Amino acid sequence: MGRVITLVSGKGGVGKTSITANLGIALAKRGISVLLIDADVAMANLSLMLGMHSNPISLHDVLLGEADVEDAIYDGPAGVKFIPSGLSLEGYRRVDSERLQSIVNSLQKQYDFIILDAPAGIEKNVASAIAAADEALLVTMPNTLSLTDAIKIKLLAERLDVKPLGIVVNFIMGEKGELRDYEISKLLDELPIYGLVPYDDEMRRSFIQKTPHPVVLRRPSSKSAVAIQKIAAKLSGTPISIGTKKQIPAEEAKKQGIFARIIGMFKKGKG
Amino acid sequence: MGISGALRRFAEVVLDIDSTELSIEQCRALEEFSAKMKFDTDTSDLKKLMGVLKRKHLVDSICVAKLNGSAIASTNGSSGTECILGTSMFKYINSELPKSESVFVKVDGNWLMIMPYDAKMYIVRAPSNLSTIELKAIAKELERALKRKKS
C-alpha cells in the first residue's frame, strides 16, 4: 500500500500547490511511482503548474460518477501521474467531495505515493481532501498570520483522525521578523520540520513561462528546488544527490555584510 | 511620508536593511491558542474520552447506541431517550429512503445528526452541522476505544 499524503495550509497563497507539483516530480525523479491529485475542486490550478492544459476528463467527472478514475489519470512531467480537477464552476457545484476517500483508496495499491493538493480554508472540501489521506503535511510561511491558520488546519486533521506528519516552511527570506523553524515547530506542538524552502525568484519564474515547468525540472540546483528535493529525500528515505552548484542558504546570505555582498557580486561576474 | 521617511525607505532598499520585527504579543497569543487546542484521546476511560471528543469536535453531546436503540455510551444523562429517538428516527428515514447514510435535522437552531457506523448508531447534537467525514472520525475514535475496553 502506498502512502497517501495531503498538503494543507489553511491560508491561501503560501505556495502549497507549487510545493505539491515540485515534490511530486522530485519523488518521481527518484524512480518512485507518484500520483498527484488536485483535490482543490473549486479553484484547481495544479494542472497549469504542471504545464498541462488539456484534460478532458477530470476529478469532477469521477466524483460525479460519470467517468472511471483510470480515465482521469494523465502522464505528467518526469513520469509523475496526475488527476486534474475540473475548472468549471458548474462541475464544482455538483460534485460530492466526500467520495474522494473511496477514489483514493481504490488507487492506493498502484502507487508508492499519492499526494493530494488540498484547497485553502477549513471548509468541507478541505476536510474531504484531508480525510482521503493517511497523513497531512502542513505548508506554512514563517509568519504568525500563516501559522494561525496552520494551527487550525492541524486541529482539523486531528479531528478527522489523520496524522499530521510535519511542516514545510515556504518563502523563507531570512528576515528578523520571521518565525524560526524551532518556533514554528513549538507552536505546532513539536511537529517535525520536513523542509525549509527559501524564497526563490526561480520558483516564481518557472510558472511564468510559455509552458510552465516546475522549478525542480527547470532549475534543479536553485535554492527552492534543492530544498524540495531534500523533502522528497526525507519522505522517501532515499539519499540526496542534487546539482553541483554550491547553494548559499537564504539566512546565510542575509547575514553577509554589504562589502561581502559587493565582493560576491564581483566574484560572480568573474565566474 | 516626509523627506526623512523617504530617505530611510530609500536607504533600506539600497542597503538591503531588514526593518522587520517579530511580534512577541502575536507569538504569545498563538502559544495560548495552540495550548488550548490539545486533546488527549489516548485513554482507555470511555467516559473521559467522550468528554474529550465533545470538546475536540465542538459538539454538545454524543450518544452511542446498538441498532436496537439500547444505549452503549453517552456524554449526557438522558442517553436512553436519545438513543431510542435516534435509532428509530434513522430506521424510519431509511425505510422511506433506502441507502440513507445519515440523517441531519435542524432543531431550534441546533443540529441533531444520526449516523450508523459498524453496527452501531452514533447520535450527535451540535450548534453547527458536522460533515459525515467528521462524524465518521468520531465514530472511528469511539470504536477503537470500545474495542480497547473489550480487550
Can you list the pairs that B74-83 forms with residues at least 24 positions away whose Cβ atoms lie under 8 Å? B74/B50, B75/B50, B75/B51, B82/B123, B83/B121, B83/B123
What chain B holds in terms of domains, given with CATH numbers, is: 3-34 (no CATH), 42-150 (3.30.450.30)
* Nearest neighbour of A179 by CB, restricted to B22, B56, B131: B22
Task: State mean pLDDT over A256-267.
Answer: 56
- For the record, the C-alpha cell of A7 comes out as 498538503
Residue type, A203: M
* Nearest neighbour of A98 by CB, restricted to B31, B39, B132: B132
Task: Render pLDDT for A96-147 as a digit per residue (tens, 0 to 9).
Answer: 888 999 999 999 999 999 999 999 998 889 999 999 999 999 999 999 999 9
Mean pLDDT of chain A: 88
* pTM for this prediction: 0.85
The residue segments making up the domain with residue A244 are 3-270
Task: Render pLDDT for A21-59 as a digit per residue (tens, 0 to 9).
Answer: 999 999 999 999 999 999 998 888 899 889 887 788 999
Question: At A255, which CATH number?
Answer: 3.40.50.300
Instruction: Give strand pairing partners of A136.
Output: A6, A164
Structural domains of chain A, count: 1
A189, B21: Cβ pair inside 8 Å? no
Neighbours of B32 (CB within 10 A): 10
Which of chain B's residues have a Cβ under 8 Å away from the Cβ of A189? 34, 38
* Nearest neighbour of B140 by CB, restricted to A161, A178, A188: A161
Bridging pattern class, strands B71-74 and B61-66 = antiparallel
